[in-house]
Structure formats: structure tokens, C-alpha cells
Structure 1
Amino acid sequence: MNNLPVLDLAVIFIYLLAMVFVGVWFSRRNKSADQFTKASGMIPGWAVGISLYATFLSSNTFLGVPGKAFGSNWNSFVFSLSMPLAAWISVKYFVPFYRTFGGISAYSNLEERFGPWARTYSVFCFLLIQIARMGSIFFGIALSLQALTGYSMISIMLVMGICIVIYTVMGGMEAVIWTEVVQGVLKTFGGLLILYLVVQNIDGGIGKIADIAIRDDKFSLGSFDLNFTEPTFWVIFLYGLFMNLKAFGFDQNYVQRYHTASSLKEAGKSVWLCIKLYVPISLVFFIIGTALYAYYDQHPALAEAIKIQAAADRLPLGANTAEIEQLAKTLGPEDYGDKVMPHFMVQMIPAGLLGLIISAILAAAMSTISSSMNASATVFIEDIYKRYFSPGMDDKKKLRLLFIGTAFFGLLGMFAGVAMIGVKSILDTWWELSGIFAGGMFGLFLLSIISKKTGNNQALVAVIAGILVILWMTFSYLIPDQYAFLRNTLHANMVIVVGTLVIFLTGVLLTFLKRRIAG
């Protein structure tokens, strides 16, 4: 970190040391698997709510959202606007279901409804989502810190990953939740501070930002046409609704937290607190992206420097200046949006404050990754290892395996982050991958709790149909041109919507036909 002043290095070092200390502190209380996975159900609802908020407010929001707003408009904010409806449905139906059912795994109920295959299938979908999620966050934080420190992205991922593994493995879910409470506050303060600094450096302030944004249509939420081939308002709203329902209703990261709350009422309050915090702060990050657009509109030479750097990153090592400049001419704001905020931080944020903001970005990454690590290890041990390999294992062995599993999934997340180096947009990449993996599992979940008459065979056929549709929607672009009419024309964010509906509606239809034939 030789590019950073000593004061900033000290702030970052103190933050990382504090996170490790939290893990050591709570390790003394991790004497059982129950304590490690759900803190014995003694966490207050407000803390669980801030923890949920911190999980949502990942580095994909902290870095990806400003980059998206810079490169396009506020279309992606529609995702946040769908959250209150998803929260209402979840608090009314999903949270009581899990608190009554009582299992720490979100997927054990599927085995009772449809058999072991349903449980195993959903667990693997969940694990793929978490690995993709951790990878996108590792990549996002490394992309930012590389610009700030000069270190390689792989080195940054390694150092950050070691710190996360230490405090998550040692501290368990209790450490995850309480560190997320601190990280949630730090991330919020960091975002507001960045917004203030950007506005302060724009000639004309807020009024000028609004003028430039209106001129270039940066406040648009997308077209309201019923067009599902483009990222219209309705495409993003449906995507957000289904993804947020999946998160609050069927994601181990959230379900596990419902069990940490002291009561059903407190668990429900935690979901609403998450919404009340996340929706307005996500708007702040869209405003940051728009403000950065105005700033670089006033400083075109700086924008050109970012384009040159983005072009250099896309070309092989050793590319000459002419090649880099030629590629840079073809790049638009959407092609280098993710690099804008790190560049601004390097150029304009004073010593001391920069270290604080870097700590906030680290917090945005670490809270989500630690949560994914703990949840991934929990479902793997509960739903795979315990179910198939060691049904009668004692609590001591289970706790030891939870330690190993947590570290293992953290390493997988780092490898995924390395594999993502070079992607165009962090937010787009994460949304696309999560939509592909989530469509099949969420449809099966809805079938299990809504269609009570659906049996194992109907559910299995429905899932196979859903998987085939998801595979077609994802890979049909590979179909040769002479068969272009067979390609999927819907927007990529519609994968989870269509996949979920195909599984649910196919299961319901088959159940109806079976009853008609039997009757």
C-alpha cells in the first residue's frame, strides 16, 4: 500500500485488526454448533435488521451502483423499489413458516415435501449463488483497492480473504451479526461522506448536478413500455421482486438470521428495519454515480484518463499506446463506470478520510462475504454431509466441520473473484449469475409451500422443465444464425422470473391433471 499516506494505512490497519479481534472475542462462546450457526437465538431484532441491511449493502452496491448510475441512469434503482412488496409478503408468510418449522437449514423442509433430491438440488443452487456472490464482491473490492494501493488484485483478495476467514471461522454467526452492525454504520457513513465530497468538488453544486443529469436523462427509471427484451422499468421490477422474495424467503443468509432473533415478532421487525435502511441508502449511491457523472463532465481530461486505463486493462499486456488509445475512443461511460469512484477517491479525498472510506468499502465486502461463508458452511453440513455421510455425528464433530467448511467456501469465493477479473460491470455480472442459479430453486420453494397437493413426481418434472427453460434462455445465443428464431429474445434479468414461473405453474398443472385423471 505504498501509494497511501501513513494515516490512511493506520486507519485501515486498525479496522482490520478490530474485525479479527471481534472473531477472537466471540470464539470463547462458540462451544456448540447451535451457538455457531444461530447464536442460540438471543440476538435483538434491531441488530438482526442492521445485519440484514449490511448484507444487502455489499460492495456490489457500494461500487457497482455508482458505476451503473454513471454509465446509464437510475433504472437499476427499481430493484430497491420492489423491496417493500417483497418484505410484506415475506413477513406475512415466510418468516412465520421458518420460525414455526424450526430447522436451521432453509432447505430441509423440501425433503419432507418432495424427497432428498429436492433438498440437495436447492442446496447446490444456493451454494453456486453464494460462490458467485462472493466472487463478485472479492472482484469489486480488489478492483477498487488496486486503483488506490497499486497492489495486484489477487494480492488484495488474498489479504482480505484471510482476515474474513479468521473472524468468521472463530466468531461464528454472533460475530458475523455484531460485526455487520458496526460495518452497516460504517458503510452508511462512508457513502454519505463520498456524496458530500463529490458535491463539494462540482462547480455549481447540487443545481449543476441536476442540470447535467436532466440534460443527459440520468434520472430515468427506464421505459414503462411492456417490453421484456430490454431493461425496462417492469423487467427490473419483476427481477427485483423475485430476487428479493428469494432472498427473504429462501436464502440461507436471511433464514438463518430469523432463527437468531429472540421471537417471531423481532424477526419480522428485522426485515422491515432492513428495508427502511436499505432503500434510501441505495438511492444515495445512485446519486453518487450521477454526481460523479457531473464531476467528470466538468473535467473531461480526467474522464479521458479513466478511459485510457480501462482500455489498457482490456488489452493483453504489452499493448502499445496506439492500440490503447484506439480502443479508448470506442468506450462509452457504461464501459468504465466501475473505475470512476476509485479514481475520484485517489484524486480528491484527503488523507485520513480516504482510509476511513476504504475501511467502509472493506466493510461492504467483508460483511456480505462472511455471511455467505457461514451460511454456505451451515447448509453444506446440515443438508449434504450430515444427510448423506454422517447422520449420527456428535456436536463436537459438527462444530469442527463448520469451521473447516466456512474457510473452504471463503477460498472458493476468492477463486471465483479471480475468475471474474476483466468483466465489464460488477452489478450486471452478479445480477445475471444470481438470476440463473436462483430461478430453479425459488420455483420449487413456492411449489412446496403453496401447492400442498403437489407430490414428488410432479415437482421433479416441473424442476426438469424449469432447468431446461433456464438453460435455453441462458445459452440460446450460441444457436447458429440459420436457427436464430430459436434464440431467447427476453432480457437476461427475466431468467429468474420465467424459470420460477415455469416450475411453479408446471407443478400446479401436473397436479391438477393427476387429480382429474384419478377422479
Structure 2
Amino acid sequence: MQTLPVIDIVVILIYLAAMVYVGYFFSRKNKSQDQFTKASGHIPGWAIGLSIYATFLSSNTFLGVPGKAFGANWNAFAFSLSMPLAAWVAVKYFIPFYRRTGEISAYTNLEKRFGPWARTYAVVCFIFTQIARMGSIFFGLSLTLQALTGYDMKMIMLIVGICIILYTVMGGIEAVIWTEVVQGILKTIGAILIVYLVVSHVDGGFGKIWDLGKADEKFSLGNLSPDFTSSSFWVVLLYGFFMNLNNFGMDQNYVQRYHTATSQKEAAKSIWLCVWIYIPASLLFFVIGSCLYAYYQLNPDLLEPIRMQTAIERLGADAGEHQVRALAATLQPADFGDKVMPNFMVTMIPAGLLGLIISAILSAGMSTISSGMNASATVFAEDVYKRYINRNVTEKQGLRLLHTGTVVFGLLGMIAGVLMIGVKSVLDIWWQLSGIFAGGMLGLFLLGIVSKRTGNHAALIATITGILVILWMTFSYLLPDSYASLRNPLHANMIMVVGTLVIFLVGLLFTRKKKAPVKVS
């Protein structure tokens, strides 16, 4: 078991205590549902922008992106490149829409547009997406901290989860936003420090890193041909556009922040601030992955412990040494990409700085998880409890409901994280799950916004059709070889793209055109 130096432990404990204190600080005025969910609408746009940026820059980015760059290339960067167009759509259409309606839930208006079933469907999709997101982040955090400390991954999830629940329950959305402002700055500083430390350990510096990476196509954006059966540039770009459109337009985490802003203009500023910070910041994590690739190319013996650890995880602790070594010898960089950065940190980063970088990794996960807890609790309270169980909730009962929901969804996120232990790539698993759960929701929302004539019947047919297509694309790989022609030929990231388009286009197809008035001669 690794033992962290005392100074690093102190730094981490100070960070965790500070986050809990922020929750306590805001708890003094967090006495109403409006304050818990909207912060009474007085948060400045720059703070909301940093908060959204911190939510985007989760531990999936901190851990998964360097792992993808190490194991493959910069193909996933196309996701970031899709953000400006999605942000433009959000600023022009989504923010004015939500600010005009005044509804705290992103899904209330679907009921007004198509009926109760539409709201319920969107809520179910959102809740599953959030649990998957929190689970993947809990997993990524625990994987990194296990490599650094040797502690059990489940114990790490429990300790970190309790801290997040405490400050989220006490401080509400205001505590979430202001802790994310700090966390966004901290994780950016941590990324810059990691780049500096890796480069300083590579003889020849950036020049050598560039030569080694270029020789093995580590800076490539992937296949640029119009190929939708593999993770080509266009597949990731399309997935990124639709996912970012979902984030800015349908995800309660972001919609809720629009209501915390002092004005529509400030809400719009927050999105653009997030975009222009996130694109270069995400690029920084691809640089980390390429730097780590060059470092381990020059020091291949240092990869042996990572290979052995990965082989043991796949074979089980009871596997013989010969079996483990045989499997370890066949593993490729893509098989253990998520483990290289934690390995570098624990072996090469000096005491003191390690505690700061671990705090940055913690902040990367805590920001997104706390946001997910608050948003999920808000959706449950507004769209489930008040809609179907008890409409007449007092202020005190409503606040207690939000607190309870925050705790419950935090625990569900931890359980999802435990179930993900052993997956190959934290970024891949999150992209796949989010695409499955979010695809139909976005299609229905766009149908309601764009087509004013589409009614309940057409929307229901479109949604059922979209769900069937998503289910086929997700599970058709299980068909026996005799039915191989019926399997989904497209890459998994296309599930969200196709699901969204099917619902939208089928809805338009079934929309009854208004009959023109008959002229009487």
C-alpha cells in the first residue's frame, strides 16, 4: 500500500474541510426552496460560467482524456470543437425560452406541450443519465486515488461521497456554484502543473515529445473520412454537438444555472465563458496524455507494474503468475490508458505538490457530482413528488424533500460507481451510457421547440419509434451470427445522434398539416 507524505494528507484534508465549510457558510441563508434551487437569482454570470466549466471538466476529463490520448490519439478533442455551435443555439433559443417560462425544472414545459407522458419520459432519461454520470465520476476518482494511496475503491467513494453530500445538502445550488468556481481554478492549475512535471522528466522536452508522438500519430484527430462505423472525427464531432446541445438545452444541471443568473444577458455570458475556457483546457489534457506517452516510451520498464495490475484485474487475484505475465505482455496502451497518469503521479511528483494535484482531481469529480445531486433532487421534487404525490407541499416540507433527494441520489451515484469497477475506459463508458439515455430526450425537446404544430399523438409515435431504434442500436450486437446482418453497423457514439434525429424527423412526418380553408365561389 502506498503511503502519502504527511504534508500531502494535510493539503487534502484542508481542501475537503474547506468544501464542507462552504456548504455550512451558505446554509445560514439556505432556508427556502427558491434559495436551494435558484440562489434567488443573484449569481453573477462569470461565476456561473466558471461553474459550468467546472461541471464539464469532470474527473472523466482529468483521467479519461489523458488515457485516451495515451492509448490512441486526439480523436476525442472533436467533442470540444463542437461546443461553440451548440452554445450558439443555446444562447439564441434555449436561454430565452427557459428565462421566459420561469420554470425551475427543464421538463415541466414538456407536459404543457405534449402531456404528462412526455415529462415523465424526460425525467426518467435525465435521472438515469445523472446516475450514470455520477457513477462514472466516482469510479474515476476512486481509481486514481487507489493508485495513489492503495485504499479500497469503495472506501474512497464513501468518504468523498459523504463530503460532497454534506456541502451540497447544507448550501444548495449557491454552495455548489461557488465551490465549483474554486474547483475550476484548482483543477486548471493542477493540469498545468502535471504538464510541467511530465515535460521536465522527458529528455529533450517538448521537442522530443513532439517527435515521438508524431511518429506514432498521437496528435491525430482520427479518421477524417465520412466513416460512421468507427470512432472517426465526424462521429465524435456529431456526438459532441448533440450531447452539448443536450447539456445546454435539456440537462437540469445547466438549465438550473440559467435561473440563478441576474439576467438573461448574464446567463448567455456564462455559456460563452465556459466554452472559451473549456476548449483550451480540454486540449491541455490531451497534451498531458501525449506527454505521458513520450515519457513511458523513453522509460518502458515503468509500464510493467501497470501492465501487471491490469492483467490481475482482468484475470482475478487468484490467477497464477505465469497467466498474469502472459496476458500483461499482450496488453496495448489503450488497455491501461486510464492508469498511466495515477502511476506517474505516485512515482514522480514530489511531496506537497502531490497533495495539491490530488485535490485538483478531487475537485474535478466533486464539482460534477454535487451539481448532479442538486439537479436530480430538484427534478425529483418538482417533476415526481409534487406532480404525482403531493402538490401542496409547505416550504419546510419542500426543503426537507430536496435535502433527502440530494442524499439519495448521492448514494445511488456511489452504487453506480461500484458497479463500474473494472471497466476499460471511464470516458468510453460514460459516452456510451449518456448517449443511450439522452438521445430520445433531446429529440423530443427539439420537436416541441421547432414544430409548433406537432401534437401529442405524433410526438408519442415519434418517441416510441426513437426508443425502439435506440434499443436496437444498443443491443443488436447480442444477436447470433446467423442474424449478423441485423446488427447495428454504426459506432456506439452514433446512438444518440440517430435516436435524436429519428424522434425529430418521425415527429415531423406524422404532424398533421392544417387544412387550408375552402374558398366558396
TM, length-normalised to structure 1: 0.99
In the alignment, which residue of structure 2 is the partner of 1:41?
41
Measure, in 1, the Cα distance between the counterparts of 2:33 and 2:292: 46
The residue type equivalent to 1:186 in the other structure is L
Measure, in 2, the Cα distance between the counterparts of 1:516 and 1:241: 36
Measure, in 1, the Cα distance between the counterparts of 2:314 and 2:200: 32
> Which secondary structure state, in structure 2, belongs to the residue aligned with residue 202 of structure 1?
coil
- CA deviations on 1:293-337 (whole Å, 9 max, x unpaired) are 000000010112211111112121221211111111221000000
Matches within 5 A, 1:103-252: 103-252=103-252
2:236/2:493 contact within 8 Å kept = yes
In the alignment, which residue of structure 1 is the partner of 2:371?
371
Cα pair distance change 1:391/1:312, threshold 3 Å: same
2:2/2:148 contact within 8 Å kept = no
> Which secondary structure state, in structure 1, belongs to the residue aligned with residue 223 of structure 2?
coil
- CA deviations on 1:188-214 (whole Å, 9 max, x unpaired) are 000000000000000110000000011
Cα pair distance change 1:303/1:518, threshold 3 Å: farther
In the alignment, which residue of structure 1 is the partner of 2:504?
504
Measure, in 2, the Cα distance between the counterparts of 1:398 and 1:386: 9
In the alignment, which residue of structure 2 is the partner of 1:388?
388
In the alignment, which residue of structure 2 is the partner of 1:494?
494
Shift of 1:394: 1.3
Cα pair distance change 1:511/1:350, threshold 3 Å: same
Matches within 5 A, 1:389-408: 389-408=389-408
Measure, in 1, the Cα distance between the counterparts of 2:483 and 2:359: 51
- CA deviations on 1:424-443 (whole Å, 9 max, x unpaired) are 00000000000000001000
Measure, in 1, the Cα distance between the counterparts of 2:250 and 2:318: 47
Worse-superposed segment, 358-367 or 310-319: 310-319
The residue type equivalent to 2:49 in the other structure is G
- CA deviations on 1:257-312 (whole Å, 9 max, x unpaired) are 00000000000000000001100000000000000000000001011221111111
> Which secondary structure state, in structure 2, belongs to the residue aligned with residue 229 of structure 1?
coil
> Which secondary structure state, in structure 2, belongs to the residue aligned with residue 492 of structure 1?
coil
The residue type equivalent to 1:296 in the other structure is Y
- Percentage of matched positions with identical amino acids: 69
The residue type equivalent to 2:329 in the other structure is K
In the alignment, which residue of structure 2 is the partner of 1:309?
309
Matches within 5 A, 1:50-89: 50-89=50-89
Q: Can you give the 5+ residue segments of structure 1 that lack an aligned partner in the other structure?
A: none
Q: Can you give the 5+ residue segments of structure 2 that lack an aligned partner in the other structure?
A: none
> Which secondary structure state, in structure 2, belongs to the residue aligned with residue 222 of structure 1?
coil
Q: Superposition RMSD on alpha carbons, in Å?
A: 1.1
Measure, in 1, the Cα distance between the counterparts of 2:388 and 2:257: 25
Cα pair distance change 1:297/1:440, threshold 3 Å: same
Measure, in 2, the Cα distance between the counterparts of 1:517 and 1:376: 45
- CA deviations on 1:132-163 (whole Å, 9 max, x unpaired) are 00000000000000010110000000000000
> Which secondary structure state, in structure 1, belongs to the residue aligned with residue 231 of structure 2?
coil
Cα pair distance change 1:509/1:155, threshold 3 Å: same
Measure, in 1, the Cα distance between the counterparts of 2:227 and 2:344: 36
The residue type equivalent to 1:232 in the other structure is S
> Which secondary structure state, in structure 2, belongs to the residue aligned with residue 29 of structure 1?
coil
Measure, in 2, the Cα distance between the counterparts of 1:238 and 1:444: 18
> Which secondary structure state, in structure 2, belongs to the residue aligned with residue 87 of structure 1?
helix
In the alignment, which residue of structure 2 is the partner of 1:413?
413
> Which secondary structure state, in structure 1, belongs to the residue aligned with residue 151 of structure 2?
coil
The residue type equivalent to 2:410 in the other structure is G
In the alignment, which residue of structure 2 is the partner of 1:295?
295
Measure, in 2, the Cα distance between the counterparts of 1:318 and 1:107: 49
* Match status 1:476 vs 2:485: no
Measure, in 2, the Cα distance between the counterparts of 1:367 and 1:53: 10
> Which secondary structure state, in structure 2, belongs to the residue aligned with residue 190 of structure 1?
helix
In the alignment, which residue of structure 2 is the partner of 1:351?
351
- CA deviations on 1:484-507 (whole Å, 9 max, x unpaired) are 100000000000000000000000
Measure, in 2, the Cα distance between the counterparts of 1:207 and 1:518: 73
In the alignment, which residue of structure 1 is the partner of 2:438?
438
> Which secondary structure state, in structure 2, belongs to the residue aligned with residue 490 of structure 1?
coil
